[in-house]
Amino acid sequence: MAARMATTIVQFENVGLRYGTGAETLSDVSFSLDGGGFYFLTGPSGAGKTSLLKLLYLAQRPSRGLIRLFDEDVVTLPRDRLPGFRRRIGVVFQDFRLVPHLSAFDNIALPLRVAGVEEDELATPVNEMLAWVGLSDRASARPATLSGGEQQRVAIARAVIGRPEILIADEPTGNVDPEMAARLLHLFDALNKLGTTLVVATHDIHLLSRVSAAQLMRLEGGRLSDPTGALKNPPREPHMGKPRKPSA
């Protein structure tokens, strides 16, 4: 039986991003990602990781270059079509961005309510997500009463309850202890096995060895390199040595 061909879900071509009149934050970034992949994005502070993620979840438009998501040019996409695209993308922010006056249940339910799901249809999917992240007993708790790890899990549940095709996470393990980091990675790995494409920005490259199928992209000085051969059309950079797979 022939192997199934992977479908390109993200494509960047010669993308540059400049804020105001300063130097480019991102320069000549080119890559393609396959649907269903698990990608870690690494690099030092100030390398442009968050800016690249903003381009991916359509919070920012590039200064130049082409970006295609789901086989459509999103740089020229009419603004009235952006909400539909954004519903296909889940985002876990570094600072969680939970609504402080809402319970854990209502924070998780928020994307479904925005999408127009009827109130009597919310309980089952939200309670399933609370159980999936191990917070069934904290459904009525507000963010201020939750620990950092619990807030992070609520943020993840909110990001994935709409079954996004892509999940983008910005430093999701940066504010939790190693045990919680391992638990969060397990949740991401399980989601990836269900078919969701994962892009996780992290400063800790050791996380890569904990997800066997993950690949690594690295940003430095606003330019992208491809140390593990993850990218289908990597940037044209000076020779950096033969790409290698990470050890398990």
Mind listing the pLDDT tens digit for each residue in 93-134?
Answer: 988 999 999 999 999 999 999 889 999 999 999 999 999 888
pLDDT given at position 229? 64
Give the integer Cα–Cα distance in Å for 153 and 175: 12
pLDDT given at position 94? 85
pLDDT given at position 230? 62
pLDDT given at position 246? 41
Mean pLDDT of the chain: 85
pLDDT < 50: residue spans in the chain: 1-4, 234-248
pLDDT given at position 248? 37
**pTM score > 0.75 for this model?**
yes
**The two structure tokens encoding residue 152:** 């992070």
Q: Tokens 């996409």 map to which residue? A: 77
pLDDT tens digits, residue range 208-226? 777 777 888 889 888 887 7
Q: Domains plus CATH for the chain? A: 7-88+165-239 (3.40.50.300), 97-163 (no CATH)
pLDDT given at position 236? 44
